Amino acid sequence: MDISCYYEEADFTEAEFSEDSWEGKTFNRCRFRSADFSGMTLIRCRFEQCDFTAASFNGVTVQESAFLNCRFLYANCFGTFFDGCKMTGTTFEESNCTALRIQGGDWSYTLIPELELCRTVLEDIRFEQADLHGSKFDKSVLRRCNFNGANLTGASFREADLRGSSITGTNLLEMDLKGTKIDLEQAVLLAGALGAVYEP
């Protein structure tokens, strides 16, 4: 489907874009309900307040794009790869995020519960104030990630490497940290959460 560079309040319900490629396109308050993006590549695109309810994002590669305050309700994001994207305020309620891959980017204030990113390397990702309750990061390496103020109730970091990431303001006592590697700053935060006082 031929798409111009800018759309506002356009309706693409049930549109089929699969196996296409977009670059530098902007969509503001557009509807993509039940649209099919399977296998697409999106480069430097911008979506603001768009509705992706029940859309299919299977195997989509998204590079340096922005999804601001968008909604992926019941969307299928199996195998989607977000590379250096800004996802601020976007929600993934009841979405299938199996095999989702994230490389860098800003995921602040997102709602993406029960996310599974096990046995992977995550670097320079900002999850500040995100709702990640019930998520699993088991045996993953997390470098320079920002979880400040994130909701990590029930989240599991079993045997993960958290050293170098920021976890200030998180609910540490409601996380599974069995076998997790942490640095001194994180150890002090954990001790404080347990009521202990660190004195060198």
Architecture in CATH for domain 1-112: 3 Solenoid (2.160)
The residue that leads in pLDDT, 195 or 44, is 44
Rounded CA-CA distance 126/89 in Å is: 12
Rounded CA-CA distance 198/200 in Å is: 7
pLDDT range class, residue 18, cuts 50, 70, 90? confident
User: For residue 121, which of 138, 142, 102, 139 has the smallest C-alpha distance?
Assistant: 142
Q: Can you tell me whether residue 41 is helix, strand or coil?
A: strand
CATH of 120-194, one of 3.10.450.50, 3.20.20.140, 2.160.20.80, 3.90.930.12: 2.160.20.80
Average pLDDT in the 73-90 region?
97
Residue 19 has a pLDDT of 74
Residue 141 has a pLDDT of 97
Q: Which amino acid, residue 83?
A: D
User: For residue 117, which of 134, 130, 105, 94 has the smallest C-alpha distance?
Assistant: 134
Residue 127 has pLDDT above 80, yes or no: yes
Residue 2 has pLDDT above 60, yes or no: no
Residue 3 has pLDDT above 70, yes or no: no
Domain ranges of the chain: 1-112, 120-194
Residue 57 has a pLDDT of 95
What would the pLDDT profile of 31-75 be if each residue is shown by its tens digit?
999 999 999 999 999 999 999 999 999 999 999 999 999 999 999
pLDDT range class, residue 1, cuts 50, 70, 90? low
- pTM assigned to the model: 0.92
Residue 20 has a pLDDT of 83
